[in-house]
Structure 1
Amino acid sequence: MIPIPSGVRVWIATGHTDMRRGMQGLALQVQEQLKRDPHVGDLYIFRGRRGDLAKVLWHDGVGLSLYAKRLDRGKFVWPSAKEGVVSISAAQMAYMLDHPC
């Protein structure tokens, strides 16, 4: 589990993301497509096309971190919107990452 400080906002990048992207590529996607600053301390969650891999991008005030979780079976539940960003709570994020369908 990611040690999330209280007050941190969590954003889900809707749709599918090219999961070959690393830290810098995802940070650029946050800036250009989501129109947000990836360095303000919010968490950004991305999911690949198959739905079994999620990446979390987070700047903790010191540096940028990238967390990844790949499921052995099942898929992550994801918003149905094709593009954009959806805000969720840290508790919702924890449930989403720990309870795939």
Structure 2
Amino acid sequence: MIAFPAAAKVWIAGGATDMRCGMNSLALKVQQGLGRDPHGGEIFCFRGRKGDLIKVLWHDGVGLSLYLKRLEAGTFIWPTSETGAAVQVSAAQLGYLLEGIDWRNPRWTQRPASAG
């Protein structure tokens, strides 16, 4: 688990994002689409179309990091927004999101039955 600062603002981008985008493309989406500074220490989350893959963009003060997580079963719980606007959540809710738990009502949504 990556230790994100508890005081960091976390933004979940509404809608689906092209998961072929890399660090620079996502930083540009943050700057132009969300109107935020990608180098300001905030955490930005993007979800793919199928819902089982997310990318997290974060500048820790030293450099920009891009994290990727794919669920083996189930999908990430994502907010619905008619306008596609970003939703702000807490760092604790981000932790639930990364574990595949519904961050709106924390409980396990899916556990793997076996390793293989």
Q: Which moved more, 1:16-25 or 1:5-14?
A: 5-14
Deviation at 1:6, TM superposition (A): 2.9
Deviation readout 1:57-86 (Å, 9 max, x if unpaired): 000001000000011110000001141110
Q: Secondary structure at the match of 2:46?
A: strand
Q: Does 1:49 align with 2:64?
A: no
Amino acid corresponding to residue 90 of structure 2 in structure 1 = S
Q: Does 1:72 align with 2:56?
A: no
The alignment-based identity, stated in percent, is 58
Which stretches of structure 1, 4 residues or more, deviate above 2 A after TM superposition?
Answer: none
Structure number with the higher strand fraction is 1
Q: Secondary structure at the match of 2:56?
A: strand
1:1-101 equivalences in 2 (<5 Å): 1-82=1-82, 83-100=84-101, 101=109
**Higher Cα Rg: structure 1 or 2?**
2
Aligned residues: 101
Deviation at 1:43, TM superposition (A): 0.3
Deviation readout 1:17-39 (Å, 9 max, x if unpaired): 00000100000000010010000
TM-score, normalized by length of structure 1?
A: 0.95
- Matched residues in 2 for 1:6 and 1:15: separation? 25
- Matched residues in 2 for 1:42 and 1:84: separation? 16
User: Structure 2: 5+ residue runs without aligned partners?
Assistant: 102-108, 110-116
TM-score, normalized by length of structure 2?
A: 0.83
